[in-house]
């Protein structure tokens, strides 16, 4: 069936909360997220915001944030966003644990899709990325990484090793097409550790120069038991971290 048109416009994100609500029909709702991604792919370049989707099982609405404009050729779905103020709540939540937050009322400072919704999103995604302060500064390539989801499969794997990334930036130190140290296991949110990267012998080691050592080596993009306020994701209590799954087309 045809997907109804969405009224999305290019405006600063601070003023943009786009809500598109569709009639509930079995066929559409069954594949609603797939339809949404296909729609955004067809109309990429003008779509960016919160979409309200219908859950036919519970007859309730839930919200996803989709971004089809920040990176050419990608449609990204936000799977998690939280502020430094709320970091303790997320520090031990590996992505393979079900920890849904505010799916019915999207909030940048505390949000996560349920595990079944993350799995559904991952199944049609090719990439994973993390960003800082997307809600206030949109996409910045300082303090950011992007990798193939097959390399950093956060839903299915514990890891404590070098992972190939397409690009990574930590506090202004950058690396393209190299390996960087990533860690996740039950009880630890996925993150990179810029302090320990040289010991693990990953290619991206330059960020270790200014990394915080104690108590457990600087945690970047999550976990945050050891933080470095120079990193944009944790420079203030209101700073935010985002994780996304994306499809490249
Ligand atoms: Ca650490």
224: CA distance to ligand 1 center in Å?
A: 8
179: CA distance to ligand 1 center in Å?
A: 17
The confidence score (pLDDT) of residue 41 equals 60
The confidence score (pLDDT) of residue 69 equals 84
The confidence score (pLDDT) of residue 156 equals 86
The H or E element that residue 63 is part of is strand 60-67
Query: What number of other Cβ atoms are within 10 A of residue 112's Cβ?
Result: 24
The confidence score (pLDDT) of residue 14 equals 30
- Distance (Å, whole) CA 82 – CA 221: 11
37: CA distance to ligand 1 center in Å?
A: 35
- Distance (Å, whole) CA 99 – CA 132: 21
159: CA distance to ligand 1 center in Å?
A: 13
State the first-to-last Cα distance of the chain, in angstroms, to the nearest integer: 22
What is the residue whose two structure tokens read 């839903």?
A: 155
Task: Quote the distance between the C-alpha of residue 210 and its chain's center.
Answer: 25
216: CA distance to ligand 1 center in Å?
A: 5
- Distance (Å, whole) CA 102 – CA 111: 5
The confidence score (pLDDT) of residue 56 equals 55
Answer whether 0.75 is exceeded by the pTM. yes
75: CA distance to ligand 1 center in Å?
A: 31
The H or E element that residue 78 is part of is strand 74-83
- Distance (Å, whole) CA 185 – CA 119: 17
Which residues have beta carbons under 5 A from ligand 1 (an ion)? Answer: 193, 216-217, 219
CA-CA distances (angstroms) from residue 111 to 65, 106, 164?
10, 7, 27
The confidence score (pLDDT) of residue 73 equals 85
- Compute the Cα dihedral for 160, 166, 172, 173 and give only its sign: positive
The confidence score (pLDDT) of residue 37 equals 63
DSSP per-residue letters across 1-66: -PPPP-------GGG----------HHHHHTHHHHHHHHHHHTTTS-EEEEEEEETTTTEEEEEEE
Cis peptide upstream of residue 215 (ω within 30 degrees of 0): yes
Per-block average pLDDT, block size 10, for the chain (249 residues)? 28 31 34 61 59 60 80 89 97 95 89 89 91 94 97 93 97 96 96 95 96 96 97 98 92
């Amino acid at each position: 069936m045809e997907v109804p048109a969405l009224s999305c416009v290019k405006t600063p994100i601070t003023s943009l909360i786009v809500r598109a609500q569709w009639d509930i029909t079995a066929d559409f709702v069954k594949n609603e997220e797939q339809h949404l991604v296909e729609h955004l792919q067809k109309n990429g370049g003008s779509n960016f915001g919160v979409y309200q989707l219908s859950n036919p099982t519970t007859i309730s609405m839930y919200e996803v944030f989709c971004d089809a404009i920040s990176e050419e050729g990608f449609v990204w779905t936000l799977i998690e966003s939280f502020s430094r103020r709320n970091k303790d709540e997320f520090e031990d939540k590996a992505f393979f644990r079900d920890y849904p937050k505010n799916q019915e009322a999207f909030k940048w400072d505390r949000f996560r899709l349920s595990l079944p919704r993350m799995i559904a999103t991952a199944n049609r995604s090719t990439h994973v990325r993390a960003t800082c302060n997307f809600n206030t500064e949109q996409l910045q390539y300082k303090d950011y990484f992007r990798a193939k989801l097959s390399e950093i499969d956060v839903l299915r794997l514990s890891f404590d090793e070098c992972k190939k990334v397409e690009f990574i930036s930590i506090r202004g130190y950058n690396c393209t097409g190299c390996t960087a140290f990533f860690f996740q296991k039950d009880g630890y949110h996925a993150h990179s550790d810029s302090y320990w990267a040289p010991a693990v012998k990953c290619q991206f080691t330059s960020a270790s120069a200014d990394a915080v050592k104690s108590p457990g080596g600087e945690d970047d993009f999550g976990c945050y038991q050891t933080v470095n306020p120079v990193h944009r994701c944790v420079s203030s209590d209101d700073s935010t971290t985002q994780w996304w799954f994306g499809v490249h087309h």
